Amino acid sequence: MARGAPSDSFDYVLLFVTAILTVIGTVMVFSSSVIMADVRWQAPYLFVTKHVIWVLVGAAALFFFSNFKYYRLQDFAKPAVFAIVILLILVLFVGSAKGGARRWFSLGPLSFQPSELAKLVLIIALADYLDRKKSKLKNWAGIAPPLILVGLFSFLVAMEPDLGTPLIMVIVGILLLFVGGTSVKYILALGAAVLPLVAFEIIRKPYRIQRIRDFLGSWGDINSGSYQLNQSLLALGSGGFFGKGLAQSQMKLLYLPEPHTDFIFPIIGEELGFAGTVFVILLFVFFAWRGWNISRKSADYFGSLLALGITLMISVQAVMNMAVSCGLVPTKGLPLPFVSFGGTALVLNLASVGILLNISKRPRNASRK
């Protein structure tokens, strides 16, 4: 192979970690949903069947993007931003309502959540801008465009309503700006500006205030916490070191809400114990390490920022999901990447891994051909 030429070999460690997380997710979706689906819809395999279909679609997306030259995504950055803004506006008016939120477009038995695509589009757009304008990030004029973009995406998603996804967007956006060379004083100013907006979003919805109260109350008396948090902690605590055994969870018997989506981590703790939860955490640690390694060794600045953004997006969401399950942060509706029952989120995460794998195939100093 000529020096600087793309390699046919990608990061197999990252692929292996992703595959293990996805397999664990499929098994746990089956275990956590089969009884609930049977009781409520008389279709015990309803969720696991859908999940397997999404895994196959996601695997195809991973394969496609692992062979798609990632730097060509820069050509689609601006059209993609325009398209996703239109979708985020449309979903507020014609999207399907569920639990008081409009976040999905229904396509027969399937649904599509544009906010999940928005996270990836935002990372591509930010990586593109920071690559082209890296010399102009020392003043407000240079950082204003990416801030407006992050603010616009976050605002539209927050209107659905959804607070968890905008928080991830803001965190990843600020971290990319920092890595891109934005001054620390501007980063601190941005953080100070974001806090009042988050407070406003919490106050705007009474159920969010109640979640904060339940969270604060749980530190003094666990019985003061929300029902969901109590059941989650009971599931984690009752699993012991090695767990009760696969499919032996009691909390999934209609006690713990959303055991196959947002609160699948406690079911892992109950059935596979402390050892199982630590194993899952270590897999995400390995994922973050390999993603950071790919970013550090990327052939170009765009690829480096894109790899870092994708790694942060998945890792931050994983940390937030597990922190919610353990009562370390207030309850938010965020799935555990690769593990929770998923449609759009699972496919987009696997597609994002495909992009990471493609970046890993191009060593530093490789030419674009």
Tokens of 198: 């988050």
Question: Which range marks the domain in which residue 253 is found?
Answer: 12-360
User: Is residue 267 a part of any domain in this protein?
Assistant: yes
Whose CA is closest to 124, among 348, 363, 368? 348
| Cβ contact 263:270 at 8 Å | no
Overall domain count for the chain: 1
Confirm whether 3 is domain-assigned.
no
Whether 272 contacts 239, CB under 8 Å: yes
In a domain, 7, yes or no: no
Q: What is the pLDDT along the chain (369 residues), one digit of tens a residue?
A: 343 445 557 899 999 999 999 999 999 999 999 999 999 899 999 999 999 999 999 999 999 999 999 999 999 999 999 999 999 999 999 988 887 788 888 877 678 899 999 999 999 999 999 999 887 888 888 899 999 999 999 999 999 988 899 999 999 999 999 998 888 888 888 888 888 887 777 777 777 787 777 777 666 666 656 778 888 989 999 999 999 999 999 999 888 888 999 999 999 999 999 999 999 999 999 999 999 999 999 989 999 999 999 999 999 999 999 999 998 888 887 999 999 997 899 999 999 999 999 999 876 655 565
226's torsion region: left (phi>0), alpha (psi -120 to 50) or beta?
A: beta
Residue 59 domain flag: yes
- Give the DSSP H or E segment for 38: helix 12-41
Residue 367 maps to a domain: no
Q: What is the 3-state secondary structure (H, E, C) of 257-269?
A: CCCCCCCHHHHHH
Helix ranges, 42-139 (H): 46-66, 73-94, 114-132
Say what the pTM is. 0.92
Domain annotation covers residue 154: yes
In whole angstroms, give the CA distance from residue 315 to residue 311.
6
Among 10, 9, 6, smallest CA distance to 18 is for: 10
Encoded amino acid at 131, one letter: D
Say if 1 falls within a structural domain.
no
- Contact indicator for 39, 30 with CB cutoff of 8 Å: no
Q: Does residue 50 belong to any structural domain of this protein?
A: yes
Contact 225, 218 (CB under 8 A): yes
Q: What is the pLDDT of residue 301?
A: 95
Specify the pLDDT at position 363: 63
